Amino acid sequence: METITLEKRELLGKKSQNLLAQGFIPAVVYNAKGDSTNLQINASAGKKLVRVATSTTIIEVKIGEKTIKALVKDVDLNPVTEEIRHIAFFEIDESKEMVFSIPFEIIGISPAVKNNLGILVKVLSDIDVRCKLADLVPSISVDISGLDHPGQIIGVHDIKLPEGMELINKDLEQATIVTITEIQKEEEVVVTPVEGAPVEGAVAAEAPVEEAKTK
């Protein structure tokens, strides 16, 4: 489990931009009740966290004498320099169910892909579920070893969710996670010459010159 330390932040609003020059990144921790606390994190630690954290990475956050568990919910980047401008954390209540976005992990080898019969296309990368922290898993496995010809799919309805997890959007039960598509073959283009047009590479015959008649 990743562990970070957050400090109380005094600079708010536009003034918080000055923190970046001081080696800190503005941050906030909020919870399901709507409470929020303005904080700051060491820039080096913040950059490292953003590199490794996923939507299911549980982080142990130390704030003074208090320690909580949280998720990284949002990272604001400068669109030009990609510098981290702000990090938002969501505090986890271990006694209650929460909504998590769980990524799919592709496992196995598709015979169709191995034998160059088709291409694997990933249609859905993750899915939203409701569960308690104790039932949270980092990913949901999707075994593609049974996909041996183009046209086959694996849908959400084919996946058994881990114990304690519930699908949020029931409409996604029929959604496709992965599919095998046919390999598109390049068609050979045949050019038919127009009648009367010169053929490339051919030398035109010299037209005969009619001798002038002398009287």
* Tens digit of pLDDT at every position of the chain (215 positions): 778 999 888 766 666 677 887 889 999 999 888 889 999 999 999 999 999 998 889 999 999 889 999 999 999 998 998 899 999 999 999 889 998 999 999 999 999 999 999 999 999 999 999 999 999 999 999 999 999 999 999 999 999 999 999 999 989 999 999 999 998 776 555 666 656 555 554 444 444 444 444 44
Residue 89 and residue 70 in contact, taking contact as beta carbons nearer than 8 Å: yes
CA end-to-end distance (rounded Å), the chain: 113
CB atoms near residue 64 (< 10 Å) = 9
- Cα dihedral 161, 162, 164, 165 sign: negative
Torsion angle, alpha carbons of 103, 54, 56, 71, to 10: -150
Q: Specify the pLDDT at position 197.
A: 54
| Encoded amino acid at 50, one letter | V
Return the bridge partners of 26, or none. Answer: 40
Domains of the chain: 2-91 (2.40.240.10), 98-182 (2.170.120.20)
Residue 171 and residue 89 in contact, taking contact as beta carbons nearer than 8 Å: no
What is the arrangement of strands in the sheet containing 176-182, beginning at the earlier edge strand?
118-122, 176-182, 153-155
Q: Specify the pLDDT at position 178.
A: 97
Q: What is the pTM of this model?
A: 0.68
Q: Specify the pLDDT at position 213.
A: 47
Residue with tokens 């953003």: 50
